[in-house]
Homo-oligomer: A and B are copies of this chain.
Amino acid sequence: MTAEELEFFPAASQGGPDYGERIRAVFEKHLVKQGLNLTKQRLRILDFLIAAKRHLELDEIYLALRKHGIGRATVFRSLKLLEECGLVDHVTTTKGASRFEIKLERPHHDHLICVECGNIQEVRWPQLEKIQEETCRKLGFAPTWHRHEIFGRCRRCAKA
């Protein structure tokens, strides 16, 4: 396994200059195309996700923003819109709620999920992706997305 084949990176690796602007532009474009509006609630939810730089549960977002009068349903519907335009992805955890993250300009990655502390570590496996694609092609299976999650105990929790 070489360095190209295996790359780790923190969720915070996203960014660069004007990252937030680019994200908002994609969102607005999507909304306009659908005849929808970029409301302040939607913007606030998106900004919160960008700032978090990690996987958030719907309720984490809701609890943080309800002081601004934003309801759970709005968070839910905004996340849906954000997924529709490819800005956001979600991870279905074993038990409990899904976790959402910004994915624009972030390479595809898989997740190591600590069942102890809930922390999610990301890992890139370009080689695995290649094998998957080849397999699907051979089988005539047309993949739209995949989920590859390893559950266990992270370094810190494994020691404790």
**Chain B residues within an 8 Å CB radius of A151:** 143-147
Cβ contact of A141, chosen from B141, B143, B158, cutoff 8 A: B158
B131 touches A112 (CB 8 A): no
Q: Beta-carbon contacts of A128-153 to B below 8 Å, as 1s and 0s?
A: 10011011100111111111111111
**Chain B residues within an 8 Å CB radius of A150:** 132, 136, 141, 143, 145-147
Stretch at the interface among A21-29, A41-49, A55-63, A119-127: A119-127
**Chain B residues within an 8 Å CB radius of A125:** 131, 135
Does A155 touch B at the CB level, under 8 Å?
yes
**Chain B residues within an 8 Å CB radius of A1:** 131, 134
- Write the nearest CB–CB distance from A94 to chain B, whole angstroms: 8
B121 touches A127 (CB 8 A): no
Does A19 touch B at the CB level, under 8 Å?
no
A144 touches B136 (CB 8 A): no
Does A104 touch B at the CB level, under 8 Å?
no
A153 touches B146 (CB 8 A): no
Cβ contact of A142, chosen from B8, B145, B153, cutoff 8 A: B153
- Give the CA-CA distance A144 to B94 in the complex, in Å: 12
Beyond the given A127-B131, A136-B152, A141-B152, please list 12 additional residue pairs across the A-B interface where CB-CB is below 8 A: A1-B131, A1-B134, A8-B139, A92-B92, A114-B141, A115-B144, A125-B131, A128-B131, A132-B150, A142-B152, A144-B151, A146-B151
Shortest Cβ-Cβ A-B pairs, 3 listed: A140-B155, A143-B152, A146-B150
